[in-house]
Amino acid sequence: MSRRCSGILAFWVAFLLTSSFVWANGSESEADIHFSALIKKGEPLFIHYCSHCHGIAGDGDGYNAEYLDKEPAELSDHEFLAKKSNEQIYKIIDLGGRGVRKSHLMPSFGHTLSEEELWSLVAYVRFLSGDTSHLVTSPEGVLTTRPTGPQETIEALSDFSRWFLESGEEPSILGQGEKLFKKKKSCLACHQVDDEGGIVGPDLSRSGFSYTPEWLYTWMGNPQHVKPDTKMPNVGLAKEESQAITAYLSKMMGEGLTEEWSEYLKEKGDAEAGEKLFFDLEGKANCSKCHRVNGSGGKVGPELSWVGSSRTLPFLLESILDPKVVITSGYASVLILTNKGKFISGVKTNEDDSSIDLVNNEGLSLRILKVDIRKFKTQKISIMPGNFKDILNLQETRNLLAFLETLKLFEVSKTEGVEILTIKD
């Protein structure tokens, strides 16, 4: 029997076992009810944060598994899980692999999820392994709210910018950042650098070309502050660790712009004209058909509401003139051949055991049942049209860049005399 089949069998056996109390006795004990409730709460968390490595059924065969140096644990293995106490499982989820002297590729979730959510993951892992002999109950007084980090202040971000200019290229800092990224933290589990690492998050081989240092520093310090539903956990980096990793990533430039394209950046454009160009559905660019800004626009391409904070101007220019060079993580085009011989292409927005959801280049949402799919392929092409260098003239491109540069993540507010950076709605 294949690993996949055995995992699915264990999954359903576990379901039947956890339901047997009701069928056999007509009622459940309080502990059984609590265990079942935790399993239900843990399922979406597992799918969101864990399944890309451990697989939907816990077989260790998630789409990211083949890119890791160490195979993910098979959580559907009853014998393997039965040897571990609930507290041991909780500890590795809370502290990560390095926190329990295991692989550093397993990230920590103690800075991301509430204690109750961590216990619900323990329960769901027990469920996947078919183990009902270790009923999971969360301890009394367990915290139900997620950890929140301190809000970033203008002063703190300014301090980082000064530090980066003064010390961001010191060899010792760069070496420390590389060691943290590759050996000590779980970064390589989800991000590739020069063809090494996972594919859950964006490839960071050209991170210095693509992202501003301030964005990298802010994001890795507290990803949930920027994007609450991100799959990336807050791994609890100290300020100095965030600085060092940012410095290391910012040196990774890859190939820059050609001399011809650098000409576009020699003068600033008109942001107001660029905004009109962006949102004009009858105009040349028609950007808002696929891209969303502050609640307006399509969802085929990446959200651009704070692209002026996160991306560098050279990257934005390259993305307009040659979008196939870098395809934003999660927006690769997929091609499906159905059993009836029909080809369907679009951006995958969701996938479960039974179906795949797509958004096509017209912005229409489609759901294709897996039983109807003959072949499925992720394409290394961008769904974004690649002829904007022919459609837009030099000034129009500059205007569009000027508008994109105005799209910032933070708004400034004052709290007890301190200027706080808050995320825009």
Of 233, 254, 275, the domain-final residue: 254
Together in a domain, 56 and 88: yes
Is 411 inside a domain boundary? Answer: no
What CATH number is attached to the domain comprising 287?
1.10.760.10
Amino acid at 271: A
Is 57 within a domain? yes
Q: Dump pLDDT digits (tens) for 98-153.
A: 999 999 999 999 999 999 999 999 999 999 999 888 999 999 999 999 998 777 77
Q: For residue 171, what is the enclosing H or E element?
A: helix 171-179
* Ramachandran angles phi, psi of 394, nearest 5°: -55, -50
Q: CB under 8 Å to 370, separation ≥6 — which residues?
A: 353, 354, 355, 356
Residue 98 belongs to what domain range?
A: 3-128
> Given this model, what pLDDT does residue 423 score?
59
User: Does some domain include residue 14?
Assistant: yes
Q: Are 46 and 117 within one domain?
A: yes
Contacts of 420 (CB under 8 A, 6+ apart): 151, 152, 153, 154, 412, 413, 414
144 lies in some domain = no
pLDDT at 10: 47
Number of other CB atoms surrounding residue 183 within 10 Å: 11
The position carrying tokens 């980090």 is 149
- Measured CA to CA, the distance from residue 102 to residue 18 in angstroms comes to 30
CB contact set of 44 (below 8 Å; sequence gap of 6+): none
**Could you tell me the end-to-end alpha-carbon distance of the chain, in angstroms, rounded to an integer?**
50
62-66 contacts, C-beta under 8 A, 24 or more apart: 63/199, 64/189, 64/190, 64/198, 64/199, 64/200
Number of domains in the chain: 4
Q: Same domain for 17 and 124?
A: yes
190: Cβ contacts below 8 Å, ≥ 6 apart: 64, 107, 197, 198, 199, 200, 201, 231, 232
Distances (CA, A) of 58 to 25, 119, 135, 147: 29, 17, 18, 27
How would DSSP label each residue in 5-18?
A: HHHHHHHHHHHHHH
pTM of the model: 0.84
Give pLDDT tens digits for 363-386.
788 999 988 999 888 877 777 888
Residues 320 and 337 occupy one common structural domain? no
Q: Give the pLDDT confidence score for residue 21 in this predicted structure.
A: 35
* DSSP conformation class of 252: -
- Kindly give the confidence (pLDDT) of every residue in the chain, 425 residues in length, as a single tens digit, with 9 standing for 90 and above: 444 444 445 444 445 444 443 334 456 788 889 999 999 999 999 999 999 999 999 999 998 999 999 999 999 999 999 999 999 999 999 999 999 999 999 999 999 999 999 999 999 999 999 988 899 999 999 999 999 877 777 888 889 999 999 999 999 999 999 999 999 999 999 999 999 999 999 999 999 999 999 999 999 999 998 889 999 999 999 999 999 999 999 999 988 899 999 999 999 999 999 999 999 988 888 899 889 999 999 888 899 999 999 999 999 999 999 988 877 777 878 899 999 999 998 888 777 767 888 888 777 889 999 889 998 888 777 778 888 889 999 999 999 999 999 998 866 566 666 655 565 65
Residue linked to tokens 């970033």: 152
In a domain, 137, yes or no: no
Tell whether 135 is covered by a domain: no
Q: Domain check: are 247 and 266 in the same one?
A: no
Return the pLDDT at 192.
Answer: 95
Domain boundary among 226, 254, 282: 254
Question: What is the rounded distance in angstroms from the CA atom of residue 131 to the CA atom of residue 76?
Answer: 9
Phi/psi zone of residue 197: left (φ > 0), alpha (ψ -120 to 50 degrees), beta?
A: left
Nearest one of 271, 370, 374 to 313, comparing CA atoms: 271
Amino acid (one-letter) located at 236: G
Which residues, in sequence order, are bridge partners of residue 296? 293
- For all residues of the chain together, what is the average pLDDT? 88
Same-domain status, 102 and 12: yes
Q: How far, CA to CA in Å, does 100 sit from each of 85, 91, 214, 270? A: 14, 7, 32, 54
Residue 361 confidence (pLDDT): 76
Which residues is 334 bridged to in the sheet? 346, 378
Same domain, residue pair 346 and 239: no
**Statement to judge: residues 286 and 400 lie in one domain:** yes
